[in-house]
Amino acid sequence: MKRKKFINITVIILVVFLFSFCSSAPKNIRQAPDSLEVSGAETIGEPSPPDVQSQETASESKEKEENSDDPARIMEDALDTYQEALVAWEKADADQALASLDESYNLILQLKPSPDSELNYEKSNLRLLIAQRIQEIYASHVNSTGENHRFIQLVENKYVMAEIESFQTRERRYFEESFRRSGRYREMMKQQLRNAGLPEELSWIPLIESGFKIRAYSNARALGLWQFISSTGYRFGLKKDRWIDERMDPEKATQAAVQYLKELHSFFGDWTTALASYNCGEFRVQRLIRGQRVNYLDNFWDLYVMLPRETARFVPRYMATLLIVSNPEKYGFKLDKPELPIQYELVSVDRPIQLSVLSQKLGLDEGELADLNPELRHKSTPDRLYQLKVPKSKGEQAIALLSDLPRWIPPEATYAIHYVRSGETVSQIARRYRTSVSSIAKMNGLRRNFLIRPGQRLKVPSRGVSTPEEPAPMKQASIEPPSGAQSYTVISGDTLYTIAQKFGMRLQMLIKINRLRSRSRIYPGQTIWVLPNSSS
């Protein structure tokens, strides 16, 4: 009995020992695989380790798992991948660039920051950048295949058909006259567009913007064939001074428009969005795109309902124009032949002369020279060297006449600037400045019953009336300066308060010694009296 019991115990111990050995052997093999290798032969015992990943400790695996969910780490990876796409695009590897952009977008899809995290803004910005680059790559691919005439996908949806119907009916005369005038300038425009590598069809934009009228002026104060506002014109090199406004020069304005359109297309990557931006500004369209909750390949018709009405109509009107001019008969038009391009010669003029006087000497119609040189604001040449356009074959005659023409002295500015206050009307402003309603309306291009709005800047024909915007100079001789006073010349940005602070004066003292009122306005160049350190 005792012997049998002893055997059973021995068996149990043996089983436990074997189980322990079998359990520990794989672990030992994985920890020291080199000891089981025979030179040049396969590993003896357990198979070789599957990969390096299996060597990670539990803590390392946990750390990696935590990093993969870190929003900041994901954003960093997405930005790195976006940069890789830019490098590939610079090397003209479009396929790799698109693959990297797609990978970057997939990364930001995984990004789920908290609502108050700054990463939300970064995510939105990166999404927009990815959209722009993808559209730019696809647009470039279309251009590189020689299909510039298909730069925009023309559609005949309800918005485009509504504009076609408008051109067929109430705007028919406008369309036909604009088409006829287009012949004066389109050859020049197409040449500039070709030189810049842009589609020639962009030369139809002025039909929508200005009807191909060189002096067209909008309620938004945009001017010329391409309807530039002053700030945008200045940004693209269009000069404006007392004598000229280059927004009205067809060739210079076209050159600026080409630069602007090229920049917009590079920014947005597709022509429909670029055209909408041309009409209302790139920053406004960019804000709308950023606010979309759609896929990263944004579509213009997704934006359409959110755009200002005029801008929303601009792209369908442009599409309608291209459809009509490409096939007039289909849409019920029989368009006249466009006018011939303008031909001219250049003549150097070094002093102010009136165009009407030269026209009369040359036997031209009174407005012919003015139409050739629309950038001249006073229909006279400036007081510097100027290249004047004259009709073809009239150059030599004009040069011979110039020496006998009198020098023209332009009148001084005869208007004041008035900022409209709430409740004011044009008739009230006219009475204040002792002028007529029609004069104010004509000078400012007012329409629709002379409607004005608070804050609007008006030019008002003036008869020497001093206004708050242009105060009369102070008569310093009539002011007896107090003892110890010093004179001070006002500079731009000064106010009575800042001057008082600068010289350590009380504001009321400054007002008193200069016989001013608390609401008196000062202007650069004005001389006033100050008493330094008189605040005590």
- Helix-strand-coil percent breakdown of the chain, rounded to 5? 55, 10, 40
CA distance 233 to 229: 6
Residues 171 and 128 in one domain: no
Q: At what angle do helices 271-280 and 250-268 cross, to 10 degrees?
A: 130
Residue 97 resides in a domain: yes
CA distance 501 to 510: 10
Q: Would you place residue 463 in the very low, low, confident or very high pLDDT band (cuts 50, 70, 90)?
A: low
Stretch among 51-55, 222-226, 317-321, 485-489 having the lowest mean pLDDT = 51-55
Residue 233 resides in a domain: yes
Residues 209 and 75 in one domain: no
The mean predicted confidence, pLDDT, of the chain is 76
Query: Of 146, 169, 196, which residue constitutes the final position of a domain?
Result: 146
Residue 484 resides in a domain: yes
Per DSSP, the chain holds a count of helices (H) and strands (E) of: 22, 6
pLDDT value of position 144: 39
Residue 450 resides in a domain: yes
Q: Choose from 62-71, 366-375, 465-474, 480-489 the range with maximum mean pLDDT.
A: 366-375
Q: In terms of pTM, does the model score above 0.75? A: no
Active-site residue, selected from the candidate residues 136, 163, 201, 209: 209
Residue 516 has pLDDT above 60, yes or no: yes
**How far are the Cα atoms of 216, 249, 445 from residue 225, in angstroms, in the given order?**
7, 8, 17
Residue 410 resides in a domain: no
**How far are the Cα atoms of 124, 280, 354, 446 from residue 220, in angstroms, in the given order?**
31, 10, 30, 12
How many Cβ atoms from other residues are within 10 Å of residue 39's Cβ? 4
pLDDT value of position 38: 34
Residues 297 and 355 in one domain: no
Top-confidence residue, 457 or 144? 457
Residue 59 resides in a domain: no
Residues 100 and 207 in one domain: no
pLDDT value of position 289: 64
Residues 198 and 234 in one domain: yes
Q: Would you place residue 33 in the very low, low, confident or very high pLDDT band (cuts 50, 70, 90)?
A: very low
For residues 259-285, give the mean pLDDT: 81
Question: Which residues is 486 bridged to in the sheet?
Answer: 530
Task: Name residues whose C-beta falls within 8 Å of residue 443's C-beta, 6 or more positions apart in sequence.
Answer: 415, 459, 460, 461
Residue 209 known to be catalytic: yes
State the DSSP H helix or E strand holding residue 420, giving kind and residue range, or none if neither. Answer: none
Task: Name residues whose C-beta falls within 8 Å of residue 368's C-beta, 6 or more positions apart in sequence.
Answer: 359, 391
pLDDT tens-digit series, residues 58-90: 444 444 444 456 888 888 888 888 888 888 877
Residues 75 and 195 in one domain: no
> Domain of 262?
150-331
Residues 314 and 184 in one domain: yes
Query: Of 146, 177, 195, which residue constitutes the final position of a domain?
Result: 146
Q: Would you place residue 202 in the very low, low, confident or very high pLDDT band (cuts 50, 70, 90)?
A: very high
Residues 494 and 356 in one domain: no
For residues 100-125, give the mean pLDDT: 80
CATH code (residue 441): 3.10.350.10
pLDDT value of position 534: 67
Token duo for residue 243: 């004598």
Query: Of 125, 146, 167, which residue constitutes the final position of a domain?
Result: 146
CATH code (residue 183): 1.10.530.10
pLDDT tens-digit series, residues 168-193: 999 999 999 999 999 999 999 999 99
For residues 485-499, give the mean pLDDT: 78
Residues 156 and 302 in one domain: yes
Q: What is the largest CA-CA distance in the chain?
A: 149
Residues 164 and 294 in one domain: yes
Residue 282 resides in a domain: yes
Residues 162 and 282 in one domain: yes
Residues 177 and 273 in one domain: yes
Q: How many domains does the chain have?
A: 6
pLDDT value of position 268: 76
Angle in degrees, CA 66, 76, 107, rounded to 5: 75
Residue 18 resides in a domain: yes
CATH code (residue 128): 1.20.58
